[in-house]
């Protein structure tokens, strides 16, 4: 029985080698697969995709143009998210807004706006907020809520300015695509997202 000691130890070592080999092989394969999918996603997404929020696709073909349904969606979202500061009629006189300096924008007036009164600019303000002010980002709202809000608050004041294709493109809207080409983003690895934002 004693004689068997050495061969059994050898057998254990061989088995251990085989196990380590299999694990290393599987890991290397996984790394390769990860790299492959990275190449694919890198080619199909832009930096804007990473920076803007997801949310379901628009229900409308051209949500940058106003319609009665979008106005209704906008009015409901306004009451829920904005009226406390901007006031129920959008005149910058909500209960919280009254305590602020500067006061929230009065949407009934065309004066005092930081950006031109255009759908594209309001869409951008909702995505990013106005830096250094109490106006925060509402990127988490649904896509049609953002468009609806833009149309609704513009409807409270004088006739707004029209967007050019370049204006829409600037904020990531492609008017040649249904819904502006906006919608659920392809999922990408978090490290790639950080890389893309850092490069931009
Ligand atoms: C916490 C208070 C607060 C809330 C809530 C709020 N805002 Fe504002 N908003 C402000 C203030 C304050 C300003 C003015 C900032 C300035 O002029 O410096 C502003 C400015 C704006 C502007 C003007 C941008 C420009 O170009 O001048 C728009 C558009 C706007 N808000 C839309 C909205 C919408 C839509 C909502 C709801 C989704 C909302 N805000 C919610 C406080 C708020």
| Residues 159 and 105 both lie in one domain | yes
| 128 Cα–ligand 1 center, Å | 11
Instruction: Among 76, 89, 104, say which to mutate for ligand 1: greatest number of ligand atoms within 8 Å of CB.
Output: 104
Q: Report the atom number in ligand 1 closest to the C-alpha of 134.
A: 12
94-100 long-range Cβ contacts below 8 angstroms, 24+ apart: 100/134
Give the Cα separation of 72 and 200 in Å (integer): 37
| Residues 73 and 164 both lie in one domain | yes
| Residues 75 and 171 both lie in one domain | yes
Determine the pLDDT at residue 186: 60
| 4 Cα–ligand 1 center, Å | 82
Give Cα 167 to chain centroid, integer Å: 18
| Residues 23 and 92 both lie in one domain | no
Three-state DSSP at 199 gives: helix
Give Cα 118 to chain centroid, integer Å: 20
Split into its structural domains, the chain has a count of 2
pLDDT block averages, 10 residues each, the chain of length 200: 66 72 63 50 44 65 97 98 98 96 96 97 97 95 97 98 98 94 73 84
Determine the pLDDT at residue 38: 47
| Residues 142 and 92 both lie in one domain | yes
Give the Cα separation of 180 and 169 in Å (integer): 9
| Residues 98 and 39 both lie in one domain | no
- Residue 149's domain comprises 68-181
Determine the pLDDT at residue 16: 73
Answer for the pair 135, 119: CB distance below 8 angstroms, yes or no: no
| 190 Cα–ligand 1 center, Å | 31
Determine the pLDDT at residue 70: 97
Closest CA to 118 of 57, 65, 54, 55: 65
Q: What is the CATH number of the domain that holds 168?
A: 1.10.760.10
Please tell me the pTM assigned to this model. Answer: 0.72
């Amino acid at each position: 029985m004693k004689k068997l000691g050495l061969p059994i130890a050898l057998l254990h070592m061989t088995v251990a080698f085989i196990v380590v080999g299999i694990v290393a092989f599987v890991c290397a394969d996984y790394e390769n697969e990860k790299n492959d999918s990275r190449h694919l996603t890198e080619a199909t997404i832009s930096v804007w995709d990473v920076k803007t929020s997801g949310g379901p696709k628009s229900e409308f073909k051209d949500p940058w143009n106003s319609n009665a349904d979008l106005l209704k969606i906008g009015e409901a979202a306004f009451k829920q998210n904005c009226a406390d500061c901007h006031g129920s009629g959008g005149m910058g006189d909500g209960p919280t807004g009254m305590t602020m300096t500067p006061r929230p924008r009065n949407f009934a007036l065309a004066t005092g706006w930081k950006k031109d009164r255009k759908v594209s600019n309001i869409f951008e303000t909702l995505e990013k907020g106005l830096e250094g002010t109490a106006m925060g980002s509402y990127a988490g709202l649904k896509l049609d809520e953002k468009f609806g809000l833009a149309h609704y608050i513009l409807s409270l004041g004088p006739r707004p300015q029209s967007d050019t294709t370049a204006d829409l493109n600037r904020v990531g809207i492609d008017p040649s695509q249904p819904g502006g080409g906006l919608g659920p983003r392809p999922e990408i690895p978090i490290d790639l997202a950080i890389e893309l934002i850092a490069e931009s």
